[in-house]
Amino acid sequence: MDVVIIGAGGAGLSAAKTLLKQPSSVISSVKIVEALSYIGGRIKADDEFIPGHRVDLGAEYIHGFKTILTEVVDESKDEWESRLDEDEELLEDIFIIAHADGGPDEKPTKNGEYGVYYLGKEDTLLRYDTDDADFQYLSEAIDNLKWEIEDDENDCVKEKTEEAVNISLGAYLDEHIEVPSRMSGILESGFGNTAACTDLYKISLSSTIDFEKYWEENEVAGDTRLHSKIGMVGVVDSIVEKHLKNDDRFSIHLNWTVASISRDSNGVTITSKDGTMLKADKAIVTVPPPIITSNDIVFDPPLPTWKLEAYKMVGMEGAIKIIVKFNQKVWPEKVQNVIAGDMPIPEIWFRSMKTKVNDGEYETCHLAVGFLTSKAADNLVRILEECVDQDRNEKAAQIILHQLSQMFKFDKHIVDDAYESAIIYDWKSIPSIKGGYMYPKVGMEKSDFHRMAKSIDSQLFFAGEATNTGACCTVQAAMETGKCAADEIIACT
């Protein structure tokens, strides 16, 4: 079989890797076509901002220790470690801090790093283990959310779950949990990371609970990040180097935007924007949901209504990273992360990197990474609309500088003096991505995930982070779907 894969993100690469494990009597060629000029999709690094380091502009954290993603890390571990200095660790511990994660029950990382919350309206900074009663109440309530519906009178479990399909997370919290109003800002900012959506009235309660349960059951708790000399892009490089590049059956076309996909009894024809055609027996479509729902690719015959309707249940809003470099820390020494309510930047995390200045001489630079999604990302885009390119970075940096000074009570002059430069990356502005990552809209059912993932006539197969029937929003979710689509193709033989 000849297979064409549309999209070179985690899903597409994992699909290619799985297909190429088959002998050539089964799989004769695998071609990836990708609209962008690089491999990785939402895994992308800036290699110039800090010489010798790869700053992640998209996916950065590795969630859990035993996943399809960590398999790749394990494969390359020794090779990567040989690139690091003796005192450097390949995997850094992360103190994850988003809604209830990172709450009072957590332990700091092994280096003693921890997270804090900032209540913008009352100018209060809370350590994760604060005894603030409202904070503890919120933490516990959100942590219990995943069990709340099921535990409530066993007989009603089914009805309750069905009812929950049409309830938003926001409405449920209003009715059953009554979040203390001074905590609502950090709640929104937390979900701005977890669901990439700050409007809790748009997010499906039942799918959110399903996701939480999936995490709990399938992933050992704990989060890490690859050393900045490797970055999440190391995972992309590893798959390409070890599984794709040296196989004669594999090829990739970058800057190749698919405009249409047509099918008949002879197979699938994939046509690019400039009219180039590729023929295949089967195709795997891994593009993000907004590409499907905005009809950027014309399907002939058209995609069936059941599939389109399922894709329309996926929400995907803006996501921006602002990465700011400082010559000294302008935040408390051990603080790794802050979730800020009612502030322009809902979340900022901190990293330090050692850079070589001369032979044997190093200096350390410190990064603050602002992460904005949904409403916060849209607000920033509005503010930056008037600026030309370079000014945009400076303007975005000024917003973070101001927020850091306010939250951590560093004199603004000290913050300004420590500031060196900044870059921003806006994922919604990339025409072949159009946003951050998926959230389930109110009304989305489990079956919608299956409909998105379901193949058509054993010719068209579907993958990508949002089509995962377990939990979405991550690199491993994307990789799992790519593997599933490839396995389904192999099963056709």
Ligand X SMILES: Cc1cc2nc3c(=O)[nH]c(=O)nc-3n(C[C@H](O)[C@H](O)[C@H](O)COP(=O)(O)OP(=O)(O)OC[C@H]3O[C@@H](n4cnc5c(N)ncnc54)[C@H](O)[C@@H]3O)c2cc1C
Q: Where does this chain bind ligand X (CB under 6 A)?
A: 6-12, 33-36, 41-43, 58-61, 63, 257-258, 286-288, 291, 296-297, 319, 321, 427, 432-433, 436-437, 464-465, 473-475, 478
CA distances from 369 to 49, 171, 322, 365 (A): 13, 31, 6, 13
Nearest CB to ligand X, comparing residues 258 and 400: 258
Residue 212 Cβ, how far from ligand X at the closest point, in Å?
16
Which residues have a Cβ under 8 Å from the Cβ of 264 and sit 6 or more positions away?
A: none
Residue 451 Cβ, how far from ligand X at the closest point, in Å?
17
Terminal Cα-to-Cα distance of the chain (whole angstroms): 9
Q: Are strands 298-300 and 419-426 parallel, antiparallel or unpaired?
A: unpaired
- Cβ atoms 402, 383 nearer than 8 A: no
Cα–Cα nearest to 339, from 331, 347, 330: 347
Rg (alpha carbons) of the chain, rounded to whole number:
23
Residue 40 Cβ, how far from ligand X at the closest point, in Å?
7
Residue 487 Cβ, how far from ligand X at the closest point, in Å?
16
Nearest CB to ligand X, comparing residues 149 and 380: 380
Beta strands in 72-231 (DSSP E): 91-94, 114-119, 124-127, 223-226
Nearest CB to ligand X, comparing residues 42 and 366: 42
Residue 482 Cβ, how far from ligand X at the closest point, in Å?
7
Residue 99 Cβ, how far from ligand X at the closest point, in Å?
15
Which residues have a Cβ under 8 Å from the Cβ of 37 and sit 6 or more positions away?
A: 254, 255
Which residues have a Cβ under 8 Å from the Cβ of 175 and sit 6 or more positions away?
A: none
Nearest CB to ligand X, comparing residues 320 and 404: 320
Nearest CB to ligand X, comparing residues 210 and 465: 465
Beta strands in 427-462 (DSSP E): 438-440, 460-462
Nearest CB to ligand X, comparing residues 98 and 138: 98
Nearest CB to ligand X, comparing residues 430 and 456: 430
CA distances from 284 to 6, 280, 316, 459, 486 (A): 6, 10, 21, 8, 8
Residue 158 Cβ, how far from ligand X at the closest point, in Å?
31
